[in-house]
Amino acid sequence: MELATVKRLFTHPIKGLTPVECDRVFLTAGHGIKGDRAFALMFADSIDAANRPALQNIPWLSKKHFAVQNDWPGLAALLCQYEPDSATLTVKKEEVTVLEANIETATGRDLISSFFTEYISTIEPTKEARHPMKLPLFFVGDRSGETRYPDREPVHISLLSQATLDNLSAVAGKFVDVRRFRPNIVVDGVAAWEEFNWIGNSFQLGDAIISVTAKIGRCANIEVNPDTGDRDLPLFSLLQQEFGHAQTGILAKITTSGDVKIGNQLTNNK
């Protein structure tokens, strides 16, 4: 039975920075989407000096070790575009290019690290920031896609229904941009909050098979405007006041690898 249709797909090459919308992704069992959160900006006090030559291969760590929008909302004001074919990261602010660097070279990675170190020195962390200190940042991760820095160590992808997003917009009285929730997959054709009922079940999604594991507990990052970096919409408190929880979307693990594209159906896996 068809449950939903894939409406939008996203990856987030660099943890905490600009998402990339795409028309297809490949789900890899035991990993997720290779290239999603494959890079990150790590604070110097989280890296042993002896390990700095091996920054490309830093293993997973919790997000308190990284510069992320939840702690540094001003990061959202940067448009960060990563081109995997050329291994080039381009950063724009107010439509002006402020950085262009090749992540495959030591010089390029040093430029990226220096740029973001300088940038966070000009913005302020939130009161609740896990890491509020303005320390040097190091660009970590591997172009192969094998490195991964999602918020949770267990392998997962995230899904959200368009109806849930529309319901939140109606309650907030203002358009709620899906990028606030940083999902991998947006599905259409189901009732608002219906995805919560899928937990514990297995589904065919395109050519892949996924198993839905949990609701996603949210943080204050959903209050950050994805274009300006301003905390301009109190979604975190709105969820608690209007719905009695602070959860949106679901997590899923991939049990069988496969291609997923816009228009694919989510169906019960028999």
Q: Digits of tens for pLDDT over the chain (270 positions)? A: 568 999 999 999 999 999 999 999 999 998 999 999 999 999 999 887 545 556 788 889 999 999 999 899 999 999 999 999 999 999 999 999 999 999 999 999 999 999 999 999 999 999 889 899 999 999 999 988 889 999 988 889 999 999 999 999 999 999 999 999 999 999 999 999 999 999 999 999 999 999 999 999 998 889 999 999 999 999 999 999 999 999 999 999 999 999 999 999 999 986
Q: What is the pLDDT of residue 54?
A: 66
Please report, in angstroms and rounded to a whole number, the separation of the first and last CA atoms in the chain.
Answer: 10
The two tokens of residue 184 are 């991998």
**Residue 36 to residue 211: CA distance in whole angstroms:** 19
191-227 exposure pattern, b = at least 16 Cβ within 10 A, e = fewer: ebbebbebeeebbbbbebbbbbebbbebbbbbbbbbe
The answer to whether 103 touches 88, Cβ cutoff 8 Å, is yes
**Residue 189 to residue 2: CA distance in whole angstroms:** 9
Q: What is the pLDDT of residue 50?
A: 44
* HSE-up (13 A, CA, CB side) for residue 242: 15
Return the number of other C-beta atoms located less than 10 Å from residue 92's C-beta.
Answer: 15
Q: Which one-letter DSSP state was computed for residue 231? A: B
Show Cβ contacts of residue 210 under 8 Å, excluding neighbours closer than 6 positions: 27, 157, 202, 203, 252, 253, 254, 255
Q: What is the pLDDT of residue 52?
A: 58
Taking alpha carbons only, the member of 7, 15, 5, 41 closest to residue 182 is: 15
Q: What is the pLDDT of residue 14?
A: 97
pTM: 0.94
Q: Is the four-CA dihedral 127, 131, 135, 141 of positive or negative sign?
A: negative
Q: What is the pLDDT of residue 51?
A: 57
Taking alpha carbons only, the member of 77, 92, 80, 101 closest to residue 227 is: 77
Q: What is the pLDDT of residue 166?
A: 98
